[in-house]
Amino acid sequence: MKCIIKRRAKFSASHRYWLPELSEAENVQKFGACTRSPGHGHNYVLYVYMAGELDEYGMVLNLSDVKHIIKREITSQLDFSYLNDAWLEFQETLPTTENMARVIWQRLAPHLPIVRIQLFEQPELWADYLGKEMEAYLSIATHFSAAHRLARPDLSYEKNCEIYGKCARPNGHGHNYHLEVTVKGEIDPRTGMTVDLGDLQKAIDDYVVEPFDHTFLNKDIPYFAKVVPTAENIAVHIRDLLQEPIRELGAELFKVKLVESPNNSCEVYGTQLEKSLSNGKLSEQVLVRI
């Protein structure tokens, strides 16, 4: 029986975004505060996903062996390092989150049956790499607070209460929504970026966070005047709002995840991915829980 296992590791390191072929003004315009010398640091969290058949001892791999390989090949070399100088790869392509995930894959692949590398630069920013050349997935997490009422205007109050329960009460109720946006793109061979992080954050803020934050969704967002603002419908609307702006940035919207409460969340995917899913053409690799 085939299983996927995951091993967690941590390291702390610093890096700087700076291209010597650009002027200081050009670097600052492209990378902002990340250009400041001598760099800035993060507490990185790394997840290594591995697949294989169960052996006679009920294991895919001996996790003690996995731990030592990750330490030898990755964390012992990167912990408390200046990433730009730590590995030759980071002198050729800047050590962005997504490029680091790609290079870590390359370093571990000869030793472990990896199917996915996930690297968190911080809790609100992480990258996934699945071994497909320069393609990577970059995720941003953010939040907004809003109220809503679940009720169809064409139904009676009694019928809405039957369908939506307490959520149909006239004055509505609120949530602190947690939003995750994942984009897919090619890693630039020089900058290491799939998309400009500042531009991506601005698009999410402009099209979602600022319009939605501290609103009564049913009344303040025109789309929800006729569409019940369930978590599912909110996520679909966010996807539709973001697809074109993200495409204009040179990436593809892969997934929107909306957490309404600790007990309730949903995920919707970009329309191209939905078509692949419905046609049964999506590779098993991509379905490893991005």
Give the active site residue among 121, 180, 252, 260.
Answer: 260
> So what's the pLDDT on residue 287?
43
CA distance 45 to 265: 24
- Cα–Cα distances in angstroms (integers) from residue 185 to residues 113, 159, 247, 288, in the given order: 24, 45, 10, 17
Q: Is 274 a catalytic residue?
A: no
Q: Answer yes or no: pTM beyond 0.85.
A: yes
Q: Which residue has the tokens 């539709």?
A: 240
Interval 173-207: pLDDT, tens: 999 999 999 999 999 999 999 999 999 999 999 99
Q: Give, in degrees to the nearest 5, the angle at Cα 235 between 44 and 214.
A: 85
Instruction: Single out the residue of 193, 81, 176 nearest to residue 134, CA to CA.
Output: 193
Task: Give yes or no for residue 87 having a pLDDT over 70.
Answer: yes
**H or E element that contains 86:** helix 83-86
Give the active site residue among 214, 244, 248, 274.
Answer: 214
Which CATH topology does 132-290 take? Tetrahydropterin Synthase; Chain A (3.30.479)
Q: What stretch(es) of the chain map to CATH 3.30.479.10?
A: 1-131, 132-290
Interval 135-172: pLDDT, tens: 999 999 999 999 999 999 999 999 999 999 999 999 99
pLDDT band for 108, please (50, 70, 90 cuts). very high
Average pLDDT over residues 237-246: 98
Burial of 1 (0-12, 13-18, 19+ CB in 10 A): exposed
Q: Is 214 a catalytic residue?
A: yes
Q: Tell whether domain 1-131 is in CATH 3.30.479.10.
A: yes
Give the active site residue among 42, 143, 167, 178.
Answer: 167
Instruction: Answer yes or no: are the C-beta atoms of 11 and 77 closer than 8 Å.
Output: no
Q: Is 167 a catalytic residue?
A: yes
Distance of CA 99 to the CA centre of its chain: 14
**254: its two tokens:** 């892969």
Instruction: Answer yes or no: are the C-beta atoms of 157 and 168 closer than 8 Å.
Output: yes
